[in-house]
Amino acid sequence: MNTKTKSILLLLALGFNMMFLSAQDVVSVKLGGKGLDMAESASLVAKIEANASAFLTSINTAFEKKSKPRFSSGTISSDAQVSVLSMWEMSPFKCSSAAIEERIIKKPQGGYEVRNIPVIMAEAPADEKEQELVLVFNANGLVDNIFLAIETGKYVQLINAAGNDVTEMRRRQIILDFIENFRTAYNRKDADYLSSVFSEDALIITGKVVQVSKPDASGQFLPQQAVKYQKQTKNEYIDKLKRIFASNSYINVKFDEIRIKQHKKYPTIYGVDMLQGWNTSKYSDVGFLLLVIDFSDDDKPIIHVRTWQPDRVDGKKLTEQDKFKLEQFNIAK
């Protein structure tokens, strides 16, 4: 069977299945390829288009019926189904566009992704309902994971910051994929994944704003704010996360103002600092997050340091001088 025939059969099969679905549920997907070999592109693009459309249509159907999504055989991997259903329990979601026209991006570490998929999160507050998904596909064209995406313009800006350095551009793509998956793990309450990406001896530091009294020029004691830092082990941090996950029906973590810096001595070590927005059904805050990550193994990045600091103290935004930085931590390799 030639490539053209395979493509036609995939599209016919998808069209037949969609005959039985409500018109408002159906999502058509048209994709272009980037970095694909000519031999693989025609059949692969057709399969990814068909599976992306079937996946998003199944999501929309479940959303309208207020039921769990059910996926047809050959559309999604078993691991991806677990991730999707975990996110669904936190908040059902639907694709807000009936027609998607995007490109397929070949991932440096293998597989493919399609970005900029607009979705509506049912349980999110009004100002967080509209978000974007990244659909990740394995080498066979099956949906293999989904991430909540970094804002498109920021993603492009961070990739382009590598300039003409192809190796650094590849590394930045891997870093941002990891950051998106890391963020999404909080949103789907995936404590097991989060535990797997921290080293056993990870340094975890969390700042907390406390009220203190300090004397002014006249000797009077006035209330002021200060930051008290607490150091935790990996197990202590993960145990606390599990309790937070269990007591909150909705969690949304967002990253903004992302910056990526390579270690001067160890080229596979990167510091990624960002502004983190933490919003749950019971508590919200904003703070500066620093992750020191080892990308020696692209498939298994490891976090050695995580620090969090409140973005404001006494009404003033934390200065650059007061923020934790990659250079402050001794890395032993």
pLDDT-derived band at 222 (thresholds 50, 70, 90) equals very low
- What average pLDDT does range 16-38 have in this prediction? 66
How confident is the model at residue 41, as a pLDDT? 73
Q: What is the mean pLDDT of the chain?
A: 86
For residue 18, pLDDT over 60 is answered with no
How confident is the model at residue 22, as a pLDDT? 55
Q: Please write the tens of the pLDDT for every residue from 241-280.
A: 999 999 998 999 999 999 999 999 999 999 999 999 999 8
CA distance 149 to 84: 15
How confident is the model at residue 236, as a pLDDT? 96
For residue 12, pLDDT over 50 is answered with no
How confident is the model at residue 50, as a pLDDT? 96
How confident is the model at residue 291, as a pLDDT? 97
Q: Which amino acid is at 283?
A: Y
How confident is the model at residue 266, as a pLDDT? 93
Domains of the chain with bracketed CATH: 3-149 (no CATH), 191-328 (3.10.450.50)
Residue (of 95, 101, 111) closest to 49 by Cα position:
101
- What average pLDDT does range 165-192 have in this prediction? 94
83 burial (CB, 10 Å; 0-12 / 13-18 / 19+) is buried
For residue 57, pLDDT over 50 is answered with yes
Lowest mean pLDDT among 33-37, 121-125, 137-141, 327-331: 33-37
How confident is the model at residue 88, as a pLDDT? 95
Q: Which amino acid is at 161?
A: A
pLDDT-derived band at 167 (thresholds 50, 70, 90) equals confident
How confident is the model at residue 23, as a pLDDT? 56
pLDDT-derived band at 234 (thresholds 50, 70, 90) equals very high
For residue 95, pLDDT over 90 is answered with yes
For residue 282, pLDDT over 50 is answered with yes
How confident is the model at residue 33, as a pLDDT? 63
How confident is the model at residue 271, as a pLDDT? 97
